[in-house]
Chains A and B, each alone.
Chain A
Amino acid sequence: MTSNDDSRANGEESMKTAKAQVAKASGKVSPSSLADVAANRLQSQTANTVGSTGLEARSIHAWFGKKHVLEDISLDFYTGTVTALIGPSGCGKSTFIRILNRMHEFIPTASLAGEVFLDGKDVYEPGVDVTKIRLRIGMVFQKPNPFPSMTIKENVLSGLKLAQLKMNNQEELLESCLRRAGLWDEVKDRLDEYGGALSGGQQQRLCIARSLAVNPQVLLMDEPCSALDPGSTLRIEETIRELSSSMSIVIVTHNMQQAARVSDYTGFFLSDGGPGRLVEVGSTSQIFSNPKEQRTEDYVSGRFG
């Protein structure tokens, strides 16, 4: 990151944050395990300015077959913050975040160069257990994809089952995940219904709750609201703000207003026909009010893209 000034100085942004914090304080947090989450939030709030990085991408390049799609991307992601990645379609944002949790390698022609450090350890190091990496770096996809053969409850707890983790106090975990995803009140009476019966926005929050159940350090969101209506989008944005206290969130979005609303930092990706590059990165307020690069200004002011 080049710039580290606190984005919360911005008027509208601080209002939202304040609201979110009030919501937290007023008992939206579950009684049990979320107590330390709240404490975490305070900690990270202060640590925020210092900048404790959990996830670092170093000179990432990516290819599909012979096609160079990403060039030399270096980005740090700080615990307790939301980083938005913006840019026109086809500039490699999604490819980039799929590299972060090693989903890139499912495409047969894919290859890459560079490193991704999680707590100082390269996730692409040979011999690393990739399933453990994905447990620590969760992902929410563009289209809501709850498992249709599982109930709401089973969906939330599916990560534990898939990773064969011990499951004590299931009920508590279930409730806290659904609460953090902002879905508890809507589904608490029908936890045994199938996930497919929910609305699109609810399904997406169910997917968020599913990712939370394995307690990831980082949550990657690949255009999580692009398939949703405006109301559901707002609910998810609230959820993102609330979650950001305890983890690092990376969100890819086409929607600049959304980036401005939810993120602390923003990175602008652009491809000029060749591979996608990171044009500029900085605090969200700086990117939107005072970008250093002309191309960034053109994009955020709507002159192209």
Chain B
Amino acid sequence: MSTATVPSKTPPVARVITTKPRFSDKVFRAVVTTGGLSSLVILAVIAFFLVYNGFGVFKSEGLSFFTGFEWVDAQPDAGTAASYGIGAMLYGTLLTGFLAVLFGVPIAVGAALFLSYYAPEWLKKPMVIVVDVMAAIPSIVYGLWGYFVFMPHAEYWAKLIHKYLGFIPFFDMPANAFSRSPFIAGLVLAIMIIPIVTSVSREVFAQTPLDRIQAAYALGATKWSMIKAVVFPYGAGGVVGGAMLGLGRALGETVAVYTVLNLVYDIRIEVLLSAGGNVASMIVNKFGEADAPELKALMAAGFVLFLVTLIVNFIANIIINRTARKG
């Protein structure tokens, strides 16, 4: 045997391991870090330039930019000043986004459950392709389809809802105009957000630990009672996060909403009426013949939209990441 170790008086100090990177590695790291941080830079630059160009409007309009219902240019002949307020558009954006989540999320969660637990093996792959293809369809296509194909059906449904549920204020109709309503825009947006909500939900459902699922079945659970007891508690956060991602998409959607929503600078609760608002569509609508002051106002509106969607996305991703880590 070799020598026994002599107990040292001082406890061992961990050595600090340092490496002196080669020059090429220093360059490499610098380049990659620059590229990596560019996403932060881009977001910051977007925010800066929108604010920079829209700042004058924020200053002159103040809080009424968010609450005002009017969007009128200055009329030098009539001597009236310009007035820019996106209150109605902001309200309309939130309303259609809410309707999209209301209609879309239950269907998307159902489809995710179908893919995870109900579909026979042979049907899973085609169904995944269906969802992928839906995600791949450009929004202009949804817009055209929504306007020419879907709207006639949806108008008919809206008429039925009004006929039987018209006593509820939301379904009241001050005028006989059912086309291009928040209801229809909400339905089209619902179809558009189904793919992302489905795939996020499916991902979190897939992380449900198998041994917990088996434990539930071994206790005599049916498929549904297993899902209620095991899958939903695990995946609830992810489903909420997915729904918020979907909401973010719905809030920022432009051309698909433009075709199926009639922009009216007013706040109305009647969802079946052909009068709604949407910040993104308004930007496209006003952009064509905007003069310089109005362009600044559009930049300001764009900044508000950017901020709202960014916050919704931040929250959604925090929720999803937390759920994913737990699983």
On A, residues with C-beta under 8 Å from B are: 101, 103, 106, 108, 131-135, 138-139, 141, 143, 145, 147-150, 158-159, 161-164, 207, 210-211, 214
Q: Is the CB of B222 within 8 A of A101?
A: no
Interface residue range, chain B: 10 to 19
Best-surrounded residue of B215, B225, B229 (most CB of chain A within 10 A): B215
- With a cutoff of 8 Å between Cβ atoms, the chain A residues found around residue B226 in the complex are 162
- In terms of DSSP, what is the predominant structure of the interface of chain B? helix
Q: Is the CB of A134 within 8 A of B229?
A: no
Q: Is the CB of A135 within 8 A of B209?
A: no
On B, residues with C-beta under 8 Å from A are: 121, 209, 211-212, 214-222, 225-226, 229-230, 233-234
List 6 A-B pairs, minimum CB-CB distance, nearest first: A149-B233, A135-B220, A162-B221, A139-B218, A159-B219, A145-B211
B225 CB contact (under 8 Å) in A103, A143, A162, A207: A162
Quote the shortest CB–CB distance from B274 to chain A (angstroms): 46
With A149-B233, A149-B234 in contact, do A141 and B214 touch (Cβ < 8 Å)? yes
Q: Is the CB of A103 within 8 A of B121?
A: no
Q: Is the CB of B229 within 8 A of A147?
A: yes
- With a cutoff of 8 Å between Cβ atoms, the chain B residues found around residue A210 in the complex are 215, 219
A134 closest partner in B (C-beta): B220
Q: Is the CB of A141 within 8 A of B222?
A: no
- With a cutoff of 8 Å between Cβ atoms, the chain A residues found around residue B221 in the complex are 131, 162-163
CA of A101 to CA of B215, assembled, Å? 12
Q: Is the CB of B219 within 8 A of A214?
A: yes
- With a cutoff of 8 Å between Cβ atoms, the chain B residues found around residue A106 in the complex are 214, 217
CA of A220 to CA of B216, assembled, Å? 15
Q: 19 A-B Cβ contacts within 8 A? A: A103-B218, A135-B220, A141-B211, A141-B218, A145-B211, A147-B212, A147-B215, A148-B233, A150-B233, A158-B216, A162-B216, A162-B220, A162-B222, A163-B220, A163-B225, A164-B225, A207-B215, A214-B219, A214-B220
- With a cutoff of 8 Å between Cβ atoms, the chain B residues found around residue A145 in the complex are 209, 211-212, 214-215
CA of A131 to CA of B219, assembled, Å? 8
- With a cutoff of 8 Å between Cβ atoms, the chain A residues found around residue B220 in the complex are 131-135, 159, 162-163, 214
Quote the shortest CB–CB distance from A228 to chain B (angstroms): 15
- With a cutoff of 8 Å between Cβ atoms, the chain B residues found around residue A103 in the complex are 214, 217-218
CA of A145 to CA of B217, assembled, Å? 12
Q: Is the CB of B215 within 8 A of A141?
A: yes
A108 closest partner in B (C-beta): B121
With A145-B211, A149-B234 in contact, do A161 and B217 touch (Cβ < 8 Å)? no
A220 closest partner in B (C-beta): B218
Quote the shortest CB–CB distance from A37 to chain B (angstroms): 20
A139 closest partner in B (C-beta): B218
- With a cutoff of 8 Å between Cβ atoms, the chain B residues found around residue A149 in the complex are 233-234
Q: Is the CB of B230 within 8 A of A134?
A: no
B225 closest partner in A (C-beta): A162
Known: A161-B225, A162-B221. 19 other contacts (CB 8 A): A101-B218, A103-B217, A103-B218, A108-B121, A135-B220, A139-B215, A141-B214, A145-B212, A148-B212, A148-B233, A149-B233, A159-B219, A159-B220, A162-B225, A162-B226, A162-B229, A163-B221, A210-B215, A214-B220
Quote the shortest CB–CB distance from A82 to chain B (angstroms): 19
- With a cutoff of 8 Å between Cβ atoms, the chain A residues found around residue B233 in the complex are 147-150
B218 CB contact (under 8 Å) in A132, A134, A150, A164: A134
- With a cutoff of 8 Å between Cβ atoms, the chain A residues found around residue B225 in the complex are 161-164
CA of A214 to CA of B77, assembled, Å? 84
